[in-house]
């Protein structure tokens, strides 16, 4: 994208005009029929999964999940809290013999209470609307009610997210331009299409992005939070995708994209007054699955060591009926 095109796509003083124009240029409504519930997950077919399985060479696995505990990143904004884990039966109860079981058997049970998007997670297609419209042009009020997402609930994706994963370690790739060798992008850094293509070029052929891939994008912000503390990680300034990257997200025909940040896109964004404008294009207009708060550090170190940036990825959401997002423990296999 040229500087002129970027200037035209970002009207800093008029976010709505920019969003309207971007949605008109990059839109998948009707692409898979009027009844579609999967959006870009349609790009993952059987052949794609066979291709992904063929990437497994060593059998080494990487969990891409942050911890789910009270030490997480959430600060209570819009009632998003960290998980609360409570034991309902313990070893103490078993020792005291007060569980009421015969012949000495005892056990432990527990319960967890948490928002579905408080740690490593997928945004479902019912999570974001564009001017009252949900994915595929449906009326938002017909899709998500007090009973949940009646059309594109996250359970519809439960069996689909197994594909070729591709790591774009933009934090490391852009180090020379930024004069940094720590593999971390500064907060507020907007990742453009040119930055994505530069990362692919520097990483080599294994990081080429193809139809049906799930891209995992490392900015290095999570690395920084683990070293320095959460700070404003949850909702604060962050590196992330530029609004101008919408065309790349559309043109590459990827099935999903996940980052190591709270909000996927750059924060603060590139407009005077806007909130998550790239979400407003990606989810309701492209039907794109977005993952956030993924831990990509161990995987990134392995990819840098062996020069292989593609892998088999399985990242099934919990089939919570009617949910607009889900916790996930993504697994990369190399």
User: Hey, how many other C-beta atoms are within 10 angstroms of the C-beta on 270?
Assistant: 21
Domain of residue 243, CATH code? 3.50.30.50
Q: pLDDT, tens digit, for every residue of 249-268?
A: 999 999 999 999 999 999 99
Residues 219-242 pLDDT 10s = 999 999 999 999 999 999 999 999
The pLDDT value recorded for residue 9 is: 86
Residue 101 and residue 125 in one domain: no
pLDDT at 3: 44
Q: pLDDT at residue 214 above 70?
A: yes
pLDDT digits (tens, 9 = 90+) for 96-119: 999 999 999 999 999 999 999 999
Instruction: State how far the Cα of 260 lies from the Cα of 32, in Å rounded to an integer.
Output: 30
Quick one: 55 and 107 in the same domain?
Answer: no
Indicate whether 255 and 292 sit together in one domain: yes
As a whole number of angstroms, the distance between CA 128 and CA 125 comes to 7
Task: Based on the fold, state whether residues 211 and 93 are members of the same structural domain.
Answer: no
Mean pLDDT of the chain: 96
pLDDT of 5 above 70: no
What's the pTM value of the predicted model, to 2 decimals?
Answer: 0.95
Do 98 and 231 share a structural domain?
no
Average pLDDT for 22-33 = 97
Are 109 and 126 within one domain?
no
CA distance 59 to 56: 6
Tokens matching residue 276: 């998550």
Q: Given this model, what pLDDT does residue 77 score?
A: 86
Note whether 226 and 35 are within 8 A (CB).
no
- 215 shares its domain with 94: no
| Residues 175 and 261 occupy one common structural domain | yes
Same domain, 101 and 141: no
Mean pLDDT across 186-212 = 98
Same domain, 98 and 155: no
Same domain, yes or no: 32 and 92: no
Separation in Å, CA 284 to CA 27, 129, 157, 241: 9, 6, 16, 17
End-of-domain residue from the set 61, 92, 113: 113
Work out the percent of the chain whose per-residue pLDDT is above 90.
95
Q: What is the pLDDT of residue 2?
A: 47
- The whole-angstrom separation of Cα 135 and Cα 68 is 29
Summarize the confidence of residues 168-185 as an average pLDDT.
Answer: 94
Residue in the block written with tokens 């209570």 = 76
Structural domain of 247:
3-76+116-333
Domain tally, the chain: 2
For position 8, what pLDDT does the model report? 65
Q: Which residue's structure tokens are 């809290």?
A: 81
Q: What tokens appear for 245 in the block?
A: 């990257």
Three state DSSP letters for the chain: CCHHHHHHHCCCCCHHHHHHHHHHHCCCCCCCCCCCCCHHHHHCCHHHHHHHHCCCCCCCEEECECCCCCCCCCCCHHHCCCCEEEEEECHHHHHHCCCCCCCCCCCCEEEEECCCCCCCEEECCCCCCECCECHHHCEHHHHEECCEECCCCHHHHCCCCEEEEEEEEHHHHCHHHHCCCCCCCCCCCEECHHHHHHHHHHHCHHHCCCCCCEEEEECCHHHHHHHHCCCCCCCCCECEECHHHHHHHHHCCCCEEEECCCCCECECCCCCCCCCHHHHHHHHHHCCEEEECECCHHHHHHHHHHCCCEEEEECCCCCCCCCCEEECCCEEEC
pLDDT, tens digit, 9 for 90 and up, residues 67-96? 999 999 999 988 899 999 999 999 999 999
Verify that 106 and 33 share a domain, yes or no. Answer: no
pLDDT in tens, 269-281: 999 999 999 999 9
Query: Where residue 7 falls among pLDDT bands split at 50, 70, 90?
Result: low
């Amino acid at each position: 994208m040229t500087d002129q095109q970027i200037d035209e796509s970002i009207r800093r003083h008029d976010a709505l005009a920019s969003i309207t124009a971007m949605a008109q240029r990059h839109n998948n409504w009707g692409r898979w029929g009027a009844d579609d519930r999967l959006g870009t997950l349609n790009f993952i077919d059987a052949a794609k999964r066979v291709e992904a399985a063929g990437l497994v060479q060593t059998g080494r696995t990487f969990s891409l999940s942050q911890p789910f505990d009270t030490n997480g990143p959430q600060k209570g904004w819009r009632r998003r809290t960290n998980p609360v884990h409570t034991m309902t039966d313990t070893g103490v109860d078993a020792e005291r013999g007060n569980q009421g079981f015969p012949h000495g058997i005892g056990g432990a049970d527990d319960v967890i209470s948490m928002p579905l998007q408080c740690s490593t997670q997928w945004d479902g297609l019912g999570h974001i609307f564009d001017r009252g419209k949900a994915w595929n042009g449906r009326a938002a009020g017909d899709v998500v009610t007090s009973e949940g997402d009646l059309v594109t609930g996250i359970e519809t994706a439960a069996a689909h997210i197994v594909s070729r994963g591709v790591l774009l370690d933009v934090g490391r790739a852009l180090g020379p331009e930024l004069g940094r060798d720590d593999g971390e992008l500064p907060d507020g850094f907007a990742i453009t299409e040119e930055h994505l293509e530069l990362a692919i070029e520097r990483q080599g052929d294994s990081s080429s992005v193809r139809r049906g891939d799930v891209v995992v994008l490392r900015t290095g912000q999570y690395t920084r939070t683990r070293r320095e503390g959460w700070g404003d990680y949850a909702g604060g300034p962050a590196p992330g995708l530029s609004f101008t990257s919408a065309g790349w997200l559309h043109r590459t025909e990827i099935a999903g994209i996940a980052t190591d940040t709270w909000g996927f896109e750059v924060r603060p964004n590139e407009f005077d007054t806007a909130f998550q404008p790239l979400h407003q294009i990606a989810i309701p207009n492209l039907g794109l699955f977005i993952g956030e708060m993924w831990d990509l550090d161990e995987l990134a170190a392995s990819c840098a060591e062996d020069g292989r940036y593609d892998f088999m990825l399985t990242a099934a959401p919990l089939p919570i009926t009617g949910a607009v997002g889900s916790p996930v423990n993504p697994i990369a296999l190399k």
